[in-house]
């Protein structure tokens, strides 16, 4: 197996960073106040997404009514496009809701803040920026890099 130089350096950086951290569980490294703060952020985002989905579904129903009553082909095309865009937004929001639900379960189960790839702590600052983060930044970069390379290879073949 050949490891590319960039990945080797990234793996080394992850190892060094994690070697310098404490060896406790992720939840031990988050204070009670930090856990509460992160949970509030997750719950607020959950509520916002649910409201957005409800609003988008109501809009889709209105566009569907317009599409069924519209004699003009341009208006019909616009209504259909609006429905398609709305569907994409609902799917995106549903994915984020699942990520929030999973993060809340990890928070209750005490694995929240632990990287699912390397097992070390995800820094609090990263969790504040991306409360649904499942990986530390180096591991996430590695995953994205691998997916990007796989996609590029798939397109060229």
Could you report the per-residue pLDDT of 10-61, keeping only the tens digit for each?
A: 555 555 554 444 444 455 679 999 999 999 999 999 999 999 988 888 887 7
Domains along the chain? 29-112 (1.10.287)
Mean pLDDT, range 127-140, rounded to an integer: 96
Please give the DSSP secondary-structure letter assigned to residue 23: S
pTM of the model: 0.68
Helix and strand counts by DSSP (H, E) for the chain = 6, 0
Q: Extract the tokens encoding 94.
A: 């549903």
Question: What are the phi and psi torsion angles at 147 (to 5°)?
Answer: -65, -40
Q: How far is CA 3 from CA 7, 11, 100, in A?
A: 7, 10, 34
For position 22, what pLDDT does the model report?
A: 43
The H-or-E segment that residue 10 falls in is helix 5-20
């Amino acid at each position: 197996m050949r490891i590319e130089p960039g990945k080797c350096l990234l793996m080394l950086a992850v190892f060094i960073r994690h070697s310098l951290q404490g060896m406790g569980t992720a939840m031990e490294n988050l204070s009670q106040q930090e856990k509460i703060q992160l949970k509030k952020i997750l719950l607020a985002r959950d509520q916002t997404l649910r409201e957005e989905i409800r609003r988008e579904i109501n809009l889709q129903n209105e566009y569907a009514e317009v599409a069924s009553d519209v004699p003009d082909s341009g208006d019909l095309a616009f209504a259909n496009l609006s429905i398609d865009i709305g569907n994409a937004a609902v799917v995106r929001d549903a994915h984020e809701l699942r990520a929030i639900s999973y993060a809340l379960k990890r928070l209750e189960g005490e694995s929240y803040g632990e990287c699912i790839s390397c097992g070390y702590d995800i820094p609090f600052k990263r969790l504040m920026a991306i409360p649904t983060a499942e990986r530390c930044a180096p591991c996430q970069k590695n995953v994205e890099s691998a997916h990007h390379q796989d996609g590029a290879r798939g397109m060229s073949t």
